[in-house]
Structure 1
Amino acid sequence: MNAPLEGFTVVAIEQAVAAPLATRNLADLGARVIKVERTDGGDLARGYDHAVHGTGAHFVWLNRGKESLAVDLKSVQGRQIVRGLIDRADVFVQNLAPGAAERLGFGAGELRTANPQLVVVNMSGFGRGGPMQDRKSYDMLIQAESGLISITGTPDEPAKTGIPTADIATGMYCAQSVLAALLRRGRTGEGATIDVSMFDSTVEWMGHAMYTQMYTGAQPQRMGVSHSSIAPYDAYPTLDGQILIGVQNDRGWRTLVSDVLGVPELADDLRFATNVLRVQNRSECDAVVAARTSLFTTVDLDTKLASAGIPAAQVKQMDQVVAHPQLVERDRWRTVGTEHATAQALLPPATFADHEAPMGDVPALGQHTRALLMESGKDSDEADRMLSQGIAVQNSAFDADFAR
C-alpha cells in the first residue's frame, strides 16, 4: 500500500516543538516535508543540547523524514524561493511570531489567492486577537496560563509537566486539522486557513478540571499521583520500592483486599465498601493498603496484581522505558540517520496493518538547499550565486546531486 499522504507536499517555516511535531506526523504518514530554516544555526532546537551525537534531542525526535532548506527570509531572493515552493505545495505550516508571516508575504490570504487549494496553518501562542496575542508563548508559560500547573504537582508545591505538554497538544491538533482539511479539499477542491493556538489546545485538555471548577466552584487540588475522585489510587510502598495501584470500582476493591492483600474483612468494612466512602476516608484507606503492600517485593506484588486484574504499574526510569519489553518484543524501534551517526527512533503510535511509516533521516542544516533551489527554478549558476552570497546555505557534508 502507498503511504497515506504520498504525493502531498508540506512547506513549514517552523522551529522548537509544536510545529515540528505536527509536520513530523505528516512526514511519518508519507508527506514530503520541506523545513525552512534560518541560515545562522537553523531551528533553535538543534542547539538545545548535544545529546544525540552532537544534535539536540528535541530536534532528532521531531524532524526525521524532512528536507532542510536554509535560506535568509530577510532577503527578497530568499523569500521568492520559499514562496515558489509554497505555491506548488499542498500545505503550509508556520509558527512565526504574530504578524511575521504576513510581513514576509506568507499571509494566508495572499498565499491562497495564488493557490486556492492550499491548506495554511498558522500556529501561535494565544491565538489571533485578544489582549495576549503578542505575548511570548513558551510551553511553560502556556502551562501556567492554561491552569495546568495549578493542578499538577503535590499539595505542597505546583509543577509543570515533565514533557512539553502544551507544545505536544498544539502539534497534534495541527496535524489533525491538516488531515481534515485535505479530506475536505478532496470533496470540494478548496483549501483552508486554520489557526491553532497553544493556549486553546492546552485549555481543551483541561476539560475535567475546568468543568469541576465551573460547576462546583472549587479549584481542583494538586494530588501528586493520587486522584481526587478515586481511592485507592496512589503510589504505595513495597519492601524494595513502591508500586502504583488504581482501583476504580467496588468489585476491584473486593478483589484487591481479598485475593491480593489477604485482608478480606476490609471488603465490607463500612469505611471502604464503596468508592465514595473510600474517598471520604482516603487517609485510612491508603494506610491499610500501604500496610499490606509493604509486605511484598515490587515485582511479586506487580505479578499478583496483574493476575488478579487489578490496575497497577511500576514507576519506570527512562533507561527501563528504552528497554521496555512491551516495546522490544513488539519491534517498535527503528534506526534513522542523523548528521553525525545513526540514532534509534520509535515507530509512530498509529500502526497501519499494511504500511510502515517511512522513518526518514534527520536532516542536517541546509542538507537539501541546493537541490531545492534548483527545484524552485534556479539554474546551477544562480543557485551557486545565492550560496556564495549567503542568501542560502548548503551543508557541505552532503552532495547536493544526491539530495532529494
Structure 2
Amino acid sequence: MQPLEGTTVLAVEQAVAVPYATRLLADLGARVIKVERPGGGDFARGYDTACGTVSSYFAWVNLGKESITLDLKHPDGRAVLDRLLERADVVLCNLSPAAAGRLGLTADALRAERPGLIVGELSGYGEQGPYAGRKAYDALIQSEAGLIELTGEGEVTGRAGISVADIAAGVQLHAAVLAALLRKGRTGEGATLRLTLLEALAEWMHQPMLYATGTGNIPPRTGAHHASIAPYGPFRCGDGQSVHLAVQNDGQWRRLCAVTGQRELAEDPRFTTVAGRVAARPELHAELQPAFDRTSAAELLAALDAADVPAARTRTVLDLAEHPQLEVRDRWAEVPVPDNRTVRMLRPPVDDSGSAWTPGTVPDLGEHTDLVLDWLGYHPEEINNLRQTGVV
C-alpha cells in the first residue's frame, strides 16, 4: 500500500510550482484531480513539444494525475467544484490571490465551510506589501532573491538552468502537506498552508546571504568553480572532455598533486591552505592545466578515483539520459503521454520498502472529466448537458 492511498488532492494549478508539489503527492499514492480550463488547460501544456502533444515541463510535473476541464466562472462549473471540495482531503491552489478571492478559493473561505480541510496557497510575493500585485515567474524570483547576481562568471550573470524557485516552492509545499496530514491523523485538525515563491527561494539562499552579511563581502561569481574553495570546478582535459574537481581539504590537495606528478605544488607557499589556493586561483589553475592537457578525462578520473580525490565527469543533459549509474540501478520507466506515445522518465528518487511505485500516465486535457463527474454522482445526461453548455 502506498502511503497516501485513499487521500484525494484537488489541484487548482498551472505552470510548475504547485503542479510539482502535487506530482510528488501523486508519487506517494494520492489521487490528484487537476482542474484545467476548457479549451486550453494548463498553459504549461504548450511550452514546447518535446513529449508529443505536451511539453517537457507538463509531462514532468503532471505524471499520475487525473485531468478534468471545468469553467469555474460558470454557476454549474462552480457546483461541480463544490462537489469536488466536499470529497477532497487537500486543496492546493496557485491562482493569483485576487483570482482565488473572486472564486471563493482562498483558504479562509474554504476552511470556513470545512475546518478539517488542508488548504495550500502559493503566491509570488504574498498578499501584503509593495510586491503583492507584481507578477512572479521563476526567473524574476531568481533575480529578486539574489541568485542571478550570484550566478555566472566575472561580469556575466546567469539564470540557473532549471526552474529552481518553482522547485523550491514545490518541495516545501509537498513537505508541509505531509506534515499537515500527519497532524490531522492525530488531532483531526485541518490546516492553512501559505508560502510564496520569494520566501521559498530565499530559504535556499541562506548560506550566501549569511556569508555576505557576516563578512560584508558578496561571494564572487566564479562560473562553475567554487567561490571559496579551490581547486573546485571543471577542468578541460587533452581529449576535450572535462573533469570536475572538488578538492576541499589539504589531504585531498596533496593527493591531487601526486596524481598530476606535481608533488612540489603541495608545498608551494601560495597553495598550502584553502584560503591561499582561492586567493591565487588563476596561478593555481595555470600550474595544473598542463598536467590535465596530457591526459584524457577518463584516464584522469580513474587516477583520481584510485587516489581518493573527489571528482566527476562534466556531462550534458543528453549524457544524463544515458548515465551508467542510473541504468544499472534501474531508475527508468516508460511513461504514457497523450497521443499514444511513451516517454522515458525517471522513477521517484526515494525507494520505499513498504510500497512499490508504478508509473501513472500524463493526462490529456480533460481526459478524466467523465470519470470524475461519475464519481461525484452526475448522471450521463447531466454530464452531456455540462458539455453542451461548455462547462466542461
What TM-score results when the alignment is normalised by the length of structure 1?
0.94
Q: Percent identity?
A: 45
Report the equivalent of 2:297: 298
Aligned: 1:275 with 2:274: yes
Amino acid at match of 1:234: G
Report what 1:364 is aligned to.
364
- The answer as to whether partners of 2:220 and 2:227 remain within 8 angstroms in 1 is yes
What is the rounded CA distance, in whole Å, between the counterparts of 1:234 and 1:391 in structure 2? 55
- Displacement of 1:278 in angstroms is 1.3
Aligned position for 1:402: none
8 Å contact from structure 1 (residues 250, 273) kept in 2: yes
Q: Identify the residue that residue 396 of structure 1 maps to in structure 2.
A: none
Assess if the C-alpha contact under 8 Å between 1:239 and 1:296 holds in 2.
yes
Q: Tell me the equivalent position of 1:338.
A: 337
Distance 1:243 1:110 in 2: 55
- Larger displacement relative to structure 2 (268-277 or 87-96): 268-277
2-side partners of 1:86 and 1:357: how far apart? 27
Greater shift in the superposed pair: 167-176 or 377-386: 377-386
User: What is the CA deviation profile of residues 159-194 of structure 1, one whole-angstrom value per residue up to 9, with x for unaligned ones?
Assistant: 101111111111101101100111111111101001
Query: Structure 2: how far apart are the matches of 1:282 and 1:344?
Result: 41
Deviation at 1:382, TM superposition (A): 1.1
Alpha-carbon separation, structure 2, partners of 1:178 and 1:359: 22
Q: Superposition pairs for residues 3-402 of structure 1, below 5 Å?
A: 3-241=2-240, 242-258=242-258, 260-340=259-339, 341-392=341-392
Indicate conservation of the 8 Å contact 1:87/1:111, yes or no.
Answer: no
Amino acid of the structure 2 residue aligned with 1:151: L
1:121-146 CA distance string (max 9 Å, x none)? 00111123111011101111111111
Give the distance between the partners of 2:196 and 2:223, measured in 1 at CA: 28
- The corresponding residue for 1:401 is none
* Whole-angstrom distance in 1 between the partners of 2:154 and 2:131: 30
Give the CA deviation at 1:357.
2.1
Maintained 8 Å contact 1:30/1:358: no
Q: Which range is displaced more, 20-29 or 272-281?
A: 272-281
Q: Distance in 1 between matches of 2:321 and 2:354?
A: 26
Q: Residues 215-270 of structure 1, C-alpha deviation per residue, up to 9 Å, x if partnerless? A: 12222221101112101112222101222111000000011101x11111222221
Q: Distance in 1 between matches of 2:317 and 2:213?
A: 37
Distance 1:84 1:131 in 2: 37
Amino acid aligned to 2:91: F
Q: CA deviation at 1:376?
A: 2.1
1:365-384 residue CA offsets vs partner (Å, 9 max, x unmatched)? 00011121222232221111
SS across alignment from 1:271: helix
Give 4+ residue runs of structure 1 displaced > 4 Å after superposition: none
Structure 1 residue identity aligned to 2:83: G
Specify the alignment match of 1:397 in structure 2. Answer: none
- Contact kept in structure 2, 1:65 and 1:358, CA below 8 Å: no
Distance in 2 (alpha carbons) for counterparts of 1:107 and 1:98: 8
Q: RMSD between aligned alpha carbons? A: 1.1
User: Which SS does the other structure have where 1:20 is aligned?
Assistant: helix
CA distance in 2, matches of 1:57, 1:29: 21
TM-score normalised by structure 2 residue count: 0.97
1:400 corresponds to: none
Gaps of 5+ in 1: 393-404
Question: Which digits, 9 at most, give the CA deviation of each residue in 1:61-91, with x for residues without a partner?
Answer: 1111100010111101111211211222110
State how far apart, in whole Å, the 2-side matches of 1:91 and 1:122 are: 11
Instruction: Tell me if the contact between 1:12 and 1:35 (Cα under 8 Å) persists in the aligned partners.
Output: yes
SS at match of 1:365: coil
